[in-house]
Structure 1
Amino acid sequence: MSKRPILILQMQRMGDLILSFPLILWLERAYPGHPIWVVAEEKFFRPLMPVSPRVTYLPWEGLGELRKNKYELLINLSIRERAASLAGELEAEEKFGPVASNDGTIHILGDWQLYRASVVENNRHNLFHWADLNALDCIPLSSIASTSWPQPRTLHRESNRIGLFLGASEEAKRPSIRFWADLCAELLKRGLRPVLFGGPMEQGIGQEVARLSKGPVLDMSGKLNLGELIAVGQSLQLFITPDTGPMHLAAWSGMKVLNLSMGNVNPWETGPYQTDHYVLRSTMSCALGCWSCSRDQLYCHNPFTPSRIAVAAKRMIVEDRDGLRKINMPGLRLSLSSRSSRGLYSLEQVNGSRAQAGDFLGRFWQQYFGAVFGLWSFEGAEGLWKEFTEQNPNLASKMAGQLPRLGREFSRGLARRAPLADSFWNSCPVVLRQFTGFIHLFLQNNSYSHQAWIKVLSFYEQLVFIVSRNLS
């Protein structure tokens, strides 16, 4: 007797689809024999099929066949209402992600899917990667932790080709034409040969970069499909790219990546997921996690200078980690993608400033929510809060001083079951918004029920216990 299929709904862009690949591999192991179906945009899944895990892809058009089946598991990784409506309509033993009820109300099922939704426009202190969040509701942490990923390929030293991917979905996420041209010139001075890549939208950019660089630059922008990009990429020593779908494709297919993480992205969420890839990010406090920029210009772009990146690239291709640590890179932090002691995505610092207050808070909230959702004990959160109070006593005191107000508001909510003001989550200091953002969405998701308020008070009491225990 055939086993019921597992259905994944993924209506996002190419990068999001590639970040679903680890989930698919884990599902194959956790549900042996169950077919895995993925509903996605055909323009994204069709070119990825040669490198994708073995699944059945279905386009969003013509979904009549889906309604004839009952599913073992349905995971909606999309944010569109259409996906939530479909998730609500189909039958499944278990569902995660946004699901619409008969009256059109959308509820997010799964602690981690709800947490993920809570960091929308609130991701400054989030340290959970999207690929991990895709899986944590239905895959044991032990399975994620036991997974090993192939190391990026290291080519023979005589190869000197460096790939530069020029585009990204938004202007804020990619360097300027002048930057790319100057980087080509700097690479050429160091005996490295730049090769330009991009989609059809970047073809004109590639031509201008090649012209301005005034050197022998090979321009392949707009000339290759994804399969050809993967094939050509195997001859590259390094692939330098902003945070974009082809960056994830490069990491998945074994190229060594240097991610220029600039603009409104958070490398902890969308950096190259496989291990031993490089991530370069501004050390500005607002660059810890950025959903959109509200400043008058993109100041986080300024520290990215072509000469520094060319020096770093030269040392990366010869695996000179000691040399990378010695490069003077003011305003930047260079990290290496890795795994934490618990097996989740992590960024291991190679070069840059020491840990800042925001770094400690990110680690604290990661440990706190991991404990709240049962991944581990509260011991790690307690230890990090103690370290945070020793390093940042004034900020810790400020955060602790806000907790009584939250307690009063939650107590009133339990008594009255009244909705919180729309501004509640972001009216609190930044140090608490990872918590208040989740609490606000949790209550909305559970229609401010009596049980939801009781649960919120338990979250709050645990936080107060940690903070008060370690604050003198």
Structure 2
Amino acid sequence: MGDLILSFPLVLWLERTYPGHPIWVVAEEKFFRPLMNVSPRVYYFPWEGVSVLRQNKYELIINLSIRDEAANLAGELDAEAKLGPVVLKNGATHIYGDWQLYRASVVENNRHNLFHWADLNALDCIPVSSLAATSWPQPRTLHKDSNRIGLFLGASEEAKRPSVRFWADLCAELLKRGLRPVLFGGPMEQGLGQEVARLFKGPVLDMCGKLNLAELIAVGQSLQLFITPDTGPMHLAAWSGMKVLNLSMGNVNPWETGPYQNDHYVLRSTMSCALGCWSCTRDKLYCHDPFTPSRIAVAAKRIIIEDRAGLSKMNMPGLRMSLSARKDNGLYSLEQISGSRSQAGDLLGRFWQKFFGALFGLWNMEQAMVVWREFSEQNPVLASRMAAHLPRLGKEFSRGLARSTPLDDSFWNSCPLILRQFTGFIHLFLQNNDYSRHSWIQVLSHYEKLASVVSQS
């Protein structure tokens, strides 16, 4: 459901770019049917009805799915242009579009990725100027006497949500501050809601499993704040105008899947492994520890009374609070409010964002150079490590061009972590183009651009 909601901005931009053209969306009916009242104007097709699609020719097909049947369908349909994974007539899968290929390359390699999924959905077919020109509605602010706080309890994986004990204690902390907690969840969270209410032992309204999505939206308009892990209802809340506090914990990256509209709050652990985590390999979820109920309750109270100054002064060791926003180019950004300041990983993420944006024509390479100079001044050892490894990449790429031989399967992740955003993309790019001579030439061109930026330090 969350992925479908994150495609809504793309649909709006397609409406503007191709006025008068119908937009047809294939999705699972259990996800699209409850969203039809809040979705942009499209024609939804369940997978059972895709035979109808084969009767038409299309101007553009965009496959945003990782499912094999989606790539097969994209290959079967007749279109002037295609983006995303497509199964070719020879049975091979080819990913069309620089940004769709980039997105595929950050699977299990997103530690330094700062591009949001909703932006990546669009950048191959929508000018970045259109993204910049889009104004998103602000989340609703209710009268300050309203004191109802929504808590969405569930998430797709246990690592992505707080514990039952956390939610029960948060209810108590909110009540201490004059705020009334309301529990939300789908049918799968009914037992969770009952357990939270039992542990809390105080006055709490448990709506878990009692509302459909339309009713959740309607009830949500009476909430001052919606506190939620990274989950589909979080995106629905942000899309429908609720004010969100996202507890971004576990194996999620808020730069990729945080609440997309402006002025929503995101709390994230500052642990070095928190970004780029796909599944925790440690003996416990240490990234959950800084999320204490008292901290969250204090933050919620200050968000409600719009005390930004107070939020910026909050001492929350191990956590960083950010606000969803837009940079001048219209791309999603998380603007830090409180917590530890810029770290090496933050700057490196900004550098790779600027580098790939320049590589794919969003802006010039000077922006990447500016960030690299800042990074190398603050982190000379890491900058030297990248510079020292680049000649090895150059030799490997030159050999590849001369011999047209595939890279070893371990190539991308055997390189230093500081370079893997680049090597992960390069490795997939070559595979996607069957290691053709032309693709090796393009790789050397990308390498030379990177070397020219890094050499300035």
Relative to the length of structure 2, the TM-score reads 0.99
The RMSD of aligned alpha carbons is: 0.6
Q: Choose the corresponding residue for 1:173, options 131, 152, 160.
A: 160
Equivalent-residue separation in structure 2 for 1:62 and 1:360 (angstroms): 47
Kindly state the Cα deviation for residue 152 of structure 1 after the two structures are TM-superposed: 0.2
* Partner residue, 2:91: 104
Separation in 2 of the partners of 1:341 and 1:333?
23
Superposed CA offset, 1:344-395 (max 9, x none): 0000000000100000000000000000000100011000100001000001
Amino acid in the other structure paired with 2:411: F
Other-structure match for 1:222: 209
User: Counterpart of 2:234?
Assistant: 247
2:119 equivalent in structure 1: 132
* Counterpart residue number, 1:306: 293
Q: Which amino acid aligns with 2:352?
A: W
1:251-310 deviations in Å (ceiling 9; x for gaps) = 000000000000000000000000000000000111133222222221111100000000
- Cα pair 1:153 1:256 within 8 Å, conserved: yes
User: Partner residue of 1:263?
Assistant: 250
Q: Which residue number corresponds to residue 386 of structure 1?
A: 373
- Structure 2 partner of 1:414: 401
Match of 1:363 in 2: 350
Does residue 444 (structure 1) correspond to residue 431 (structure 2)? The answer is: yes
| Preserved CA contact (<8 Å) 2:131 2:329 | no
1:160 maps to which of 133, 144, 147: 147
1:62 pairs with one of 40, 45, 49 = 49
Cα distance in 2 for partners of 1:286, 1:123 equals 11
User: Would you say 1:343 and 2:368 are equivalent positions?
Assistant: no
Who is 1:184 aligned against? 171
SS in 1 for 2:348: helix
Q: Note the C-alpha offset of 1:211.
A: 1.2
**2:119 equivalent to 1:143:** no
Q: C-alpha displacement at 1:62, in angstroms?
A: 2.6
Contact 1:368–1:381, Cα closer than 8 Å, also in 2: yes
AA aligned opposite 2:139: P
Count of paired positions: 457
The superposition leaves residues 152-177 of structure 1 with CA deviations (integer Å, 9 ceiling, x where unpaired) of 00001111000000000000100000
Q: Offset of 1:210 from its aligned partner?
A: 0.9
Q: Distance in 2 between matches of 1:248 and 1:140?
A: 24
- SS of residue paired to 1:98: strand
Instruction: Tell me which amino acid in the other structure corresponds to 2:406.
Output: P
Q: Which residue of 1 aligns with 2:456?
A: 469
- Residue 91 of structure 1 corresponds to 78
Q: Which amino acid in the other structure matches residue 138 of structure 1?
A: C
Percent identical among aligned pairs is 82
Deviation at 1:83, TM superposition (A): 0.5
Give the SS at the match of 2:337: strand
Q: 1:45 aligns with which of 22, 27, 32?
A: 32
Is 2:447 aligned against 1:460?
yes
Structure-2 separation of matches of 1:153 and 1:83: 37
* 1:180 aligned partner, one-letter code: W
**Which of 103, 119, 127 is 1:116 aligned to?**
103
Cα distance between partner residues in 2 of 1:134 and 1:35 = 18
* Equivalent-residue separation in structure 2 for 1:425 and 1:297 (angstroms): 28
- Deviation of 1:213 after TM superposition, in Å, equals 1.1
Deviations 1:13-67 (A, max 9, x none): x000000000000000000010000000000000000000011000001311111
Report the residue type matching 2:87 in the other structure: A
DSSP-derived class of the 2:455 partner: helix
TM-score by length of 1: 0.96
Give 5+ residue unaligned stretches, structure 1: 1-13
Q: Which amino acid aligns with 1:358?
A: G
Equivalent residue of 2:284, what SS?
Answer: coil
Aligned pair 1:401/2:388, yes or no? Answer: yes
Segment of structure 1 superposing worse, 282-291 or 445-454:
282-291
